[in-house]
Amino acid sequence: MNIKHRLKSLSSSELFLRSTTLFGSFSPLATVLVSAMFAASAIASEPPLSLQTLEAIAANDDPAVQQLKLQAEAMAEAAVAAGQLPDPQLRLGAVSLPVDSFDLSQEPMTQLQLGYRQRFAPGDSLQLRSQQVEMQSTALQSMADDRRLMNRQLLREDYFNLLQQQKMLQVVRSAAQLLEELVEVSGDYYATGRTQQQDVLQAEVEYARMRDREIEVTERLEIHQARLAKWLNNAWLTELVVSDAQLNAPLAREEISAKLSDHPRLVALSMTASSAETAVSVAREQTRPGWTLDVAYGARDGTNANGTSRSDLISAVVSIDLPIFQSQRQHRTIQAEANRLDAQWAHLQDAMRQMQSELNREWASYQRNSQRLDLFNTSLLPQAQASSEASMAAYQAGVADFTMLLQSRLTQFELELDYLRVQLEQQVALSRLHYLAGE
């Protein structure tokens, strides 16, 4: 026997109880919402994926994070190289060789010379350059850590968006089933003269609207499936189902605010600013002279006029840079690096303000959504359930029309969807607070 015939055969009290059972109750609203994960069998054939599983996959399979880590390792190696002296030069040649005979013993100044030349950078330039590159390496590592935290936040938002659409689809399908049965019942009531044709038409319109809502929710669900599949390298592009989950409560706002300075995003900017500060010191070192040591050994052949062998010669030369025209080169370089430093510190200050603003905004969202969820659980949802039950009882008793019954059911349905929206906003705010806390 189908639903329509069963409803027709029920007494007024039985019809009231059965209709409330068909639509579901708010007190077991948690059951209705949590049972959305059982909709997986109706939505997809794949087993639900947990948030922890997705986070583990995304953490180990992000090319951008790997790129930053490899760049940090490369800069760490470059930091060691930047602190070393430049390669020395080896000189080998003939000096003062007579071109008429090319005889090494003809002239006393002729010699075969072996030389060694080493360049020394001015001041502490090498050490400072090494520190600068090392700071850049640390900045890249912090950027990788920030990217990992950001990925987890974005993944969680995609996850909870998909979870919300799964639950919404379950609620919409339940509502559409009830409206379909109400259309049949109102049609039967109209045939027996117990209701008006307008009631039948209104029920049909609401049922069609609910079917349209189901298509809309299904579309959004598939969109969020595609977004979440990005974290799985586009595996399970369709029929991706997630299980129910909730994030832990965040730290107190004061604790998160105190930890902001240690957040990888700010640490990366701070290290970049420190690197720019070191670049200023490197530029200042260029005002000091660099120098070069040149040592050579010359071997001579032949004899002196008195018959003695010609002595070999050794020479040592020190060359010193003369940075005496500094106004157009060294001073300009120092000013340029100082301007870059000021820009980096301004960027850091702006980022700190932005993150503090994000913290205040997300904390307010978290607090207000918590209040709204309490209001839904303690007042709105139970009252909507009681109103729906009262409308059904009044309709069965003949003291309320079909429009009132339908309106109370639709209000209950809209409140269920609003409850899911607030839940989503709450989880999104939590994911962002966890990101700001660097957890």
Whether residues 105 and 202 fall in one domain? no
Query: Is it the case that residue 195 has pLDDT exceeding 90?
Result: no
Whether residues 138 and 23 fall in one domain? yes
Query: Is it the case that residue 139 has pLDDT exceeding 90?
Result: yes
Q: How confident is the model at residue 197 (pLDDT cuts 50, 70, 90)?
A: confident
Whether residues 224 and 170 fall in one domain? yes
Whether residues 313 and 328 fall in one domain? no
Whether residues 259 and 397 fall in one domain? yes
Domain that holds residue 420: 3-85+121-288+323-436
The answer to whether the Cα torsion of 256, 260, 264, 265 is positive or negative is: positive
Mean pLDDT over residues 258-280, rounded?
95
Whether residues 96 and 191 fall in one domain? no
Whether residues 210 and 346 fall in one domain? yes
| Close Cβ partners of 405 (under 8 Å, ≥ 6 residues apart) | 391, 392, 394, 395
Whether residues 150 and 19 fall in one domain? yes
How far apart (Å, rounded) are the C-alpha atoms in residues 186 and 200?
5
Amino acid identity of 95? V
> Starting from the edge strand earliest in sequence, which strands make up the sheet with 291-299, in order?
89-95, 111-120, 291-299, 313-320
Amino acid identity of 373? L
The rounded mean pLDDT for the chain is: 84
Whether residues 168 and 259 fall in one domain? yes
Whether residues 254 and 151 fall in one domain? yes
Structure confidence at residue 141 (pLDDT): 96
3-state secondary structure string across 39-53: HHHHHCCCCCECHHH
Query: For the segment 310-330, what is each residue's pLDDT rounded down to a tens digit?
Result: 899 999 999 998 888 888 888
Whether residues 310 and 187 fall in one domain? no
How far apart (Å, rounded) are the C-alpha atoms in residues 191 and 185?
10
More confident residue, 58 or 161: 161
How far apart (Å, rounded) are the C-alpha atoms in residues 380 and 365?
20
Whether residues 306 and 409 fall in one domain? no
Count of the separate structural domains present in the chain: 2
Query: For the segment 98-116, what is each residue's pLDDT rounded down to a tens digit?
Result: 888 888 888 888 899 999 9
Q: How many CA atoms lie within 13 A of 223 on its CB side?
A: 9
Structure confidence at residue 187 (pLDDT): 79
Q: How confident is the model at residue 60 (pLDDT cuts 50, 70, 90)?
A: confident
Question: For the domain that residue 350 is a member of, what is the CATH number?
Answer: 1.20.1600.10
Query: Of 322, 341, 373, at which residue does a domain stop?
Result: 322
Q: What are phi and psi of 85, to 5 degrees?
A: -65, 150
